[in-house]
């Protein structure tokens, strides 16, 4: 698979996952916990799809003429950012469950 196409697929997967995590946090704030949990799970699926592309990228990186580009660095940044967003979404979910139970 072409490096640029692979990077594009990764960016799309990470972007979809991050959007799901953000939607989850908004739903948690409104007390819509079933919807929030669903969005976290959708985000995890999108992130997993990104990981499959990432594995292909790692295989490409073993080639002798592999060059690290700015696009590749952007992809890695998006994947790490997405992983952090999942952790934050889970924490926000738990926090709002606790806060809204006590109100």
Residues 10-30: what's their mean pLDDT?
Answer: 97
> What is the number of residues in the chain?
103
- pLDDT value, residue 3: 86
Query: pTM surpassing 0.85?
Result: yes
What is the per-residue pLDDT across 31-78, written as a single tens digit (0 to 9) for each?
999 999 999 999 999 999 998 988 888 888 888 788 888 998 999 999
Q: Catalytic pick from 51, 53, 54, 74?
A: 74
* Residue 103: count of CB within 10 angstroms of its CB: 5
Domain ranges of the chain: 3-102
Give percent of the chain above pLDDT 70. 98
51 is catalytic: no
The answer on pLDDT for 1 being more than 70 is: no
CA distance 32 to 24: 9
Residue 18 vs residue 55, higher pLDDT: 18
Class of domain 3-102: mainly alpha
């Amino acid at each position: 698979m072409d490096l640029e196409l692979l990077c594009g697929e990764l960016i799309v997967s990470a972007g979809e996952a991050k959007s799901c995590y953000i939607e989850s946090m908004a739903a948690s704030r409104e007390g819509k916990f079933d919807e929030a949990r669903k969005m976290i799970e959708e985000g995890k699926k999108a992130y997993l799809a990104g990981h499959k592309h990432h594995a292909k990228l790692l295989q490409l990186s073993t080639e002798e003429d592999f060059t690290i580009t700015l696009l590749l660095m952007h992809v890695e940044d998006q994947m790490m950012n997405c992983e952090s967003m999942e952790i934050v979404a889970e924490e926000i979910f738990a926090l709002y469950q606790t806060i809204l139970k006590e109100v």
